[in-house]
Structure 1
Amino acid sequence: MTEKTESGLPRPVAIAWGTYVPSQNGPRRGLSHEQIVTQAIAIADAEGIAAVTMARVAKELGFTTMSLYRYVANKDELLLLMIGSESLLPTSAAEVPAAGWREDLRAWADLLRDMYREHPWMLDVPRGPTSVLMPVSMYIADRGMRALSELGLGGGEQISVVLALSSYVASFAGLERDLAGQEDVEFGAEAFAELGEVVTVERLPYLAPLMLSGGYIGGPADEAEDGVDDDYRLGLDLLLDGLAVRWGTMDTPNPLAD
């Protein structure tokens, strides 16, 4: 359970926003929340989230594990402070938004993608009611709402769209991370001939022709140099097209209109 302040605000939220007032009792403090979070993020960036423990962070900072508990209640609180740190925002966050809602949303999605690429361990930290109150989450939501502002959506609709788009980006970032850790599958003619004995048009009438032509995975037609980048762009375009259709902003006729 997340510890709360006297006002009822979750303690990690108060810490992250700088409103938390620590007790003055006990020994003099030699650390800061910022130092602890910065060190924990450095460990996660280098070795993954599993490497982040209270003992490891304390050791890297030159303090005892018990001393960290004067600042951070437990590892769950530390993880919340990590994913809420504004230091996670990539340099692209400071860029001027592109003209028009569509390009601004595309830039916003790319911002999220860049953040996950630089800090892939973020994908392993569970989200919840407390995490959405952290500085980075609220900044990202605000940026997304700004991009959507010219569509005339209500606040609840804006948040729903932000959730849908950010979920898509996180899912694709996870796929990119998983693929990056695996070897490419390359099939020669003999392998395709063997596979062709079981992957037949009778069994898989729609997928088999693509598979056997090499357009599905690992074949001679699979020559894209950008990995899944083209797939990511297509998926994002489909979502943006859906927004345009729903709220009537497409230049072309609405295909769903009667």
Structure 2
Amino acid sequence: MGDSTDLDLPRGVALAWGVSADPQRGPKREMSVEKIVDAAVELADAEGLGAVSMAAVATRLGYTPMSLYRYVSAKDDLMLLMQEAATGLPPASVRDVDGWRERLRAIFRAMLDIYLRHSWMIDVPITGSPTTPNSSAWMEVVLEAVDETPLSAEERLAVTLLVTGQARWYGTVLAGYAATGRATGLTPEQITLRKAALFDGLISADEFPSLRRAIDAGVFLSPDDPFMFGFERILDGLAAYIDRLEAGGARPAPAGWATLDDAGVASDKKYREAQKALRDAEKALRDAQRHVRQTLREARERAGRHPSA
């Protein structure tokens, strides 16, 4: 087990594990997969993933695109290697943190730091479980963090998905702010103020009373971190579950994967027709709500022009 020599690895994965050598002859001796990947990461950091192409990376390095294909034969392989390089290894300091909860919190923040430095990583498609060294190392530190708990092997993997998934969701928001900042030149604080002003101007108490109360309470300008609040409550739930297991409580029945295709539902003609009817009804509802808002604005304008005596 653990021997990759007999596996038929995709080239990108093989390059990541170092079992696929660079070509013996290239355009210049100083060319390497590592230099190509470093240049691509620098380009993505500066301009976003959309700016990365074999031609753009080649120009950055002073070579022709065909020269790069001798080392990285496909853009998908390049993206995988970029993600691997940007992810890096977990900081050694997380292993020095005592207690599973505190260690998971430290790992979560370390993952967020990656997205802050490389926001383009959110745009890399998820094609399955990580099969590269650095991604595997991050799974390892999460599994280590819960080694001493009564969680089963499946539950420990679920914790890994929970931590990485929450970090990715938070990273998605951070990446969105970064992209908006690049496009507009605005700081994150200015983007927040702009979004808050839009909510304040568009949301009425008549149509969205709970949301309006939240806006009036200043939630969109609050310094409190809602994502960390949510993550801490997840840890609360995990702690309660671990306490229950340690007290001899029974595990819940395992849940299967959620999928429509297993039952053939998604391909069913009647189901598709029902889904289309639902979308049409939702559109009609949105149109009606828009008409109500317009009528209400016009009524208020008339009332303002002709106040009662």
TM bracket (short chain): 0.7 to 0.9
TM-score (norm 1): 0.78
| Structure with the higher fraction of residues in helix conformation | 2
Q: Deviations over 1:93-136 (max 9, x none)?
A: 1314311000000000001000011000000001223x601122
Residue 162 of structure 1: which of 153, 156, 160 is its match? 160
TM-score (norm 2): 0.66
DSSP-derived class of the 1:132 partner:
coil
Are the structure 2 counterparts of residues 238 and 101 from structure 1 closer, same or farther at C-alpha, using a change threshold of 3 Å? same
Give 2:212's aligned residue.
208
Are the structure 2 counterparts of residues 199 and 11 from structure 1 closer, same or farther at C-alpha, using a change threshold of 3 Å? same
Give the Cα separation in 2 of the matches to 1:214 and 1:239.
25
Give the Cα separation in 1 of the matches to 2:222 and 2:163.
28
The answer to whether the 8 A contact 2:87-2:135 is kept is no
Query: 1:58-207 to 2 correspondence within 5 Å?
Result: 58-85=58-85, 88-89=87-88, 93-95=91-93, 96-129=95-128, 132-179=130-177, 181=180, 182=191, 184-185=193-194, 187=197, 198-200=204-206, 203-207=207-211
DSSP-derived class of the 1:151 partner:
coil
Are the structure 2 counterparts of residues 183 and 223 from structure 1 closer, same or farther at C-alpha, using a change threshold of 3 Å? closer
Larger Rg: 2
Are the structure 2 counterparts of residues 142 and 183 from structure 1 closer, same or farther at C-alpha, using a change threshold of 3 Å? same
DSSP-derived class of the 2:21 partner:
coil
1:37 has 2:37 as partner: yes
DSSP-derived class of the 2:146 partner:
helix
Are the structure 2 counterparts of residues 205 and 52 from structure 1 closer, same or farther at C-alpha, using a change threshold of 3 Å? closer
State, as a whole percentage, how many aligned pairs show the same letter. Answer: 36
Deviation at 1:139, TM superposition (A): 1.1
5+ residue gaps, structure 2, are 181-190, 250-309
Give the Cα separation in 2 of the matches to 1:244 and 1:81.
36
Give the Cα separation in 1 of the matches to 2:225 and 2:192.
19
The answer to whether the 8 A contact 1:113-1:173 is kept is yes
Give the Cα separation in 1 of the matches to 2:12 and 2:176.
30
1:248 has 2:247 as partner: no
Output the amino acid matched with 2:106. Answer: A
Give the Cα separation in 2 of the matches to 1:59 and 1:179.
28
Are the structure 2 counterparts of residues 6 and 149 from structure 1 closer, same or farther at C-alpha, using a change threshold of 3 Å? closer
Give the Cα separation in 2 of the matches to 1:39 and 1:26.
17
Are the structure 2 counterparts of residues 26 and 104 from structure 1 closer, same or farther at C-alpha, using a change threshold of 3 Å? closer
Q: Deviations over 1:3-50 (max 9, x none)?
A: xx9741122111111111356588775511111111110111111111
Q: CA RMSD in A?
A: 3.1
The answer to whether the 8 A contact 1:83-1:136 is kept is no
Output the amino acid matched with 2:32. Answer: S
The answer to whether the 8 A contact 1:97-1:107 is kept is no
Deviation at 1:230, TM superposition (A): 1.8
1:232 has 2:241 as partner: no
Give the Cα separation in 2 of the matches to 1:8 and 1:144.
28
Are the structure 2 counterparts of residues 21 and 176 from structure 1 closer, same or farther at C-alpha, using a change threshold of 3 Å? closer
Output the amino acid matched with 2:10. Answer: P
Give the Cα separation in 2 of the matches to 1:39 and 1:184.
35
Output the amino acid matched with 1:172. Answer: Y
DSSP-derived class of the 2:91 partner:
helix
Give the Cα separation in 1 of the matches to 2:171 and 2:26.
44
Give the Cα separation in 2 of the matches to 1:61 and 1:27.
12
Give the Cα separation in 2 of the matches to 1:195 and 1:34.
49
Are the structure 2 counterparts of residues 22 and 241 from structure 1 closer, same or farther at C-alpha, using a change threshold of 3 Å? same
Give the Cα separation in 2 of the matches to 1:247 and 1:38.
42
Deviation at 1:176, TM superposition (A): 2.6
